[in-house]
Homo-oligomer: A and B are copies of this chain.
């Protein structure tokens, strides 16, 4: 019998990653191409089609493609559409599941990128065997996916898990979403850059970070400086950990998870970020939760991004064949 595999598609604002993944999370083939988000959807679909053709060219009768999983920003799992994506010039409503399903005559499942990441962590990653956990993706923004009793928390309008937009301070930093003081304006790569610039403005200490412009500064610049003992960088990580840890304590008061799994660029900083997060989360936890909630980092890398949509495709397939 042919080995079953799924096609996984991870659509990002800059790169789209596609892969063929088996049930054990082994990526048999993968490709990466530019999303070219400023072009219309039609052009993306043509590019995707030709890339998938190359990806599947080597497939023979020993493999059978059974379904397609897609992770994308602003994806609605109930409708199968991408809705009002701020970083894709595709218009207000893109019926991506329908278009790709008709193209390949296969079942398509769609969810937003952070939800896909949570499913990927549960099936193939750090959260294997866990039933209640929260994935926080700390990249340009802060995405989140919540798993409760082994299932993705969906919500009434398929929009559960926007922890990046809980409020730190109603008069705080302006967020792209139109609100002020959203968590992602503090706890993300962009957020810690903003904190570094605030500290540079406030303080007079020397710092290698004073030589780098806002646009050029990466998370690595800040973590490298912190590891080398730079006061401003260390303060920036402490401040970020205090804010994020405090808000994670609030998430615990809703969800009572076993663990948080941190992924994305900022999570690569390791202990210089994890230590203040753990300290402040623990400090702010309601007594019933103290000492019970783990904070872990994902063991996947950005090249594994297809594992999220692959897990989605597998879980949908398993649901249908139960």
A interface residues, Cβ below 8 angstroms from B? 131-132, 146, 148-149, 151, 153-167, 170, 177-179, 182, 246, 249-251, 253-258, 284, 286-289, 292
Contact = CB atoms under 8 A, between A and B. Distances in A.
A161 B132 CA distance: 14
A136 B152 CA distance: 24
A157 B286 CA distance: 13
B159 A132 contact: no
A162 B288 CA distance: 10
Contact of A246 (B155, B170, B246, B284): B170
A86 to B, nearest CB: 10
A100 B131 CA distance: 30
Q: Per DSSP, are chain A's interface residues mostly helix, strand or loop, or mixed?
A: loop
B284 A163 contact: no
Given A161-B254, A162-B288, A177-B286, 10 more contacts: A132-B155, A148-B155, A153-B255, A155-B257, A160-B255, A163-B253, A164-B253, A166-B249, A179-B286, A182-B286
Instruction: Please tell me how many copies of the chain the complex holds.
Output: 2
A155 B133 CA distance: 9
A292 B162 CA distance: 15
Given A250-B250, A254-B251, A284 B157 contact: no
Nearest to A182: B286
A153 B148 contact: yes
Contact of A256 (B132, B158, B250, B286): B158
A284 B170 contact: yes
B246 A288 contact: no
A254 B160 contact: yes
A154 B165 contact: no
A167 to B, nearest CB: 6
B149 A132 contact: no
A254 B157 contact: no
Given A170-B246, A250-B167, A156 B287 contact: no
A160 B133 CA distance: 12
B256 A157 contact: yes
Given A166-B250, A250-B166, A292 B157 contact: yes
A145 to B, nearest CB: 11
B246 A167 contact: yes
A158 B149 CA distance: 11
A254 B163 contact: yes
Given A148-B153, A153-B148, A167-B246, A177 B287 contact: yes
